[in-house]
Amino acid sequence: MTLLANFARYEAIVLLAAFACVIVYQFLTGAITLRGVLCEKTKAGVGAISAARVQLLLFTLAMAFYLLSQVIKLRAFPEIETKWLLLLGGSNSVFLSAKGVSSLFSSEPR
Amino acid sequence: MFFLFQTNPAPIPQDPNFHFLALVMGWIVTVLIAAFAVAIIYKMVKGDINLMYLVAGADGDASLARFQFLVFTFVIALGLFLIILSSSPPTFPKEISGGILALLGISSGSYVTAKAVDANANKPPATQVVVATPPPPPATAVVVNATPSEQTVNT
């Protein structure tokens, strides 16, 4: 039974790492498109870089790294303080508001 | 019905055959999951499973809301795997904190809202229905001082 448990443990680690490697590799090589991820969208195509999108990306990456580091350190899900959740919620609200305003009032919204 | 009201069931005797069966089933499930995962990874590497539009919207450009959803899903799934595998024997965590659920809820809510905004913006303008006015009725023609065969009244 110990052998089976160890096999399942290593199998999960290897397969999850393989999935992550494939996706990260495809992001880096451009096989998964990231075109216009930080840009405004218009009917004419991809527009200029949007500050709302950049701040959302930064907050997302920061929160993801914080969460992963805490899980590695504590070996348990951490208690996330309300202020951090409010910060992320606010960041998302700014992004969605900018998207909605752009969609409503732009001459050529997408 | 009897078992529903039985408060203190009799302990199940340990059967060595059952232990063997559990071991066989465990190996079969483990190997089967590994085979499925290897097949999926092989097809992803080979290109049979196309991941090009993994974070793209309906227009083909990448969507930040989808990207955020993907990042949080991966991080929380990785964390869950790590927590399960770090305990010996591997056990599922007794509780998942509300903060983690709120984090997933924020990212998925943002994704759904962004999708709704996109769908609303891409909606074509409402078609105008033009109702044609009916043609006026023909004028009545009366012919007088004519032979009876020529007297006609047109309506």
Q: What is the pTM of this model?
A: 0.73
Q: Tell me whether strands A45-49 and B141-142 are parallel, antiparallel or unpaired.
A: unpaired
B116-150 residue pLDDT tens: 888 887 776 666 666 777 777 776 655 556 565 55
Beta carbons of B99 and A5 less than 8 Å apart:
no
Minimum-distance CB partner of A5 among B71, B89, B122? B89
Q: How would you write chain B as a 3-class SS string?
A: CCCCCCCCCCCCCCCHHHHHHHHHHHHHHHHHHHHHHHHHHHHHHHCCCCCCCCCECCCCCECHHHHHHHHHHHHHHHHHHHHHHHCCCCCCCCCCCHHHHHHHHHHHHHHHHHHHHHHHHCCCCCCCCCCCCCCCCCCCEECCCCCCCCCCEEC
CB contact under 8 A, A81 and B99: yes
CA distance readout (Å), B75 to B103, B117, B121: 11, 26, 31
Residue whose C-alpha is closest to residue B68's, from A105, A58, A104: A58
The pLDDT score that the predictor gives to residue B1 is 44
- What residues of A are in contact with residue B109 (Cβ under 8 Å)? 92
Whether A38 has a pLDDT exceeding 70, the answer reads yes
Chain A residues whose beta carbon lies within 8 Å of the beta carbon of residue B62: 33-37
pLDDT classification of B30: cutoffs 50, 70, 90: very high
ipTM of this complex:
0.85
Tell me which chain A residues have a C-beta less than 8 angstroms from the C-beta of B59. Answer: 41, 110
Q: How many CB atoms lie within 10 A of CB A105?
A: 8
Name the A residues in 60-99 with CB < 8 Å from any B CB. Answer: 60-61, 63-64, 67-68, 71-72, 75-81, 84-85, 88-89, 92, 95-96, 99
Judged by a CB distance cut-off of 8 A, whether residue A41 touches chain B is yes
pLDDT at residue number B127: 67
Closest Cβ–Cβ partner in A71, A81, A96 for B114? A96
Average pLDDT, integer, range B65-88: 89
